[in-house]
Amino acid sequence: MIKASGFVLGLLLAAAFLSAGCGETECNECTDCPSFTGEYYGTIESLNETCADVMLLTGDEYMKVISQTPLSFESRDSRGLWAVFNGTLCDTNDEDYPMTYSFNAYYFPDTTDKEYTLDYSYIGFFTVEDETAEVVTITATLDLRFMFEDGEICALTGDVRLAKTL
């Protein structure tokens, strides 16, 4: 029962984020953006954690953007397994370069055989440096939220910096 309610809570939080948009401004889904599909490499560094005995998020990070509308990309989860995140890519309000395009994406792994539920959220920005759109970087925050059967909540936050490979 707790596992199901944790999953439902995660879905409700994701829906709230999606309806509120990316960042603090309203999200107009990006339909005429530069192409962000491709592979990105970089690092993830743990910023904080609220519980012990959980793997820290530090080291190399890889992301492969599969589609933009809707936003879908694959990345590794906290256990090193491949995960597909789905979300929304928002249009920019910038009128000059560099231009930033905010995004949010979520992943809800199956934890039916675990003593917790787990929700991932990836929120950040694609930044295009100039009109060639050859240099694209990603700055984001990755949050993992574990909800255990006894009511304990454990949260991990990581700072992500990635660059697109050409």
Record the pTM: 0.79
More reliable by pLDDT, 3 or 47: 47
* Residue 79, pLDDT score: 66
Query: What gap in Å lies between CA 40 and CA 144, rounded to an integer?
Result: 21
* Residue 9, pLDDT score: 36
More reliable by pLDDT, 29 or 76: 29
Q: In this predicted model, what pLDDT tens digit does every residue of 101-159 receive, in sequence order?
A: 999 999 999 999 999 999 999 999 999 999 888 889 999 999 989 899 999 898 888 89
Answer yes or no: are the C-beta atoms of 12 and 123 closer than 8 Å.
no
Q: In this predicted model, what pLDDT tens digit does every residue of 10-53 receive, in sequence order?
A: 333 333 333 334 445 689 999 889 999 999 999 988 877 777 66
Question: What residues make up the domain containing 17?
Answer: 2-164
Total of domains in the chain: 1
* Residue 2, pLDDT score: 40
Answer yes or no: are the C-beta atoms of 58 and 47 closer than 8 Å.
no
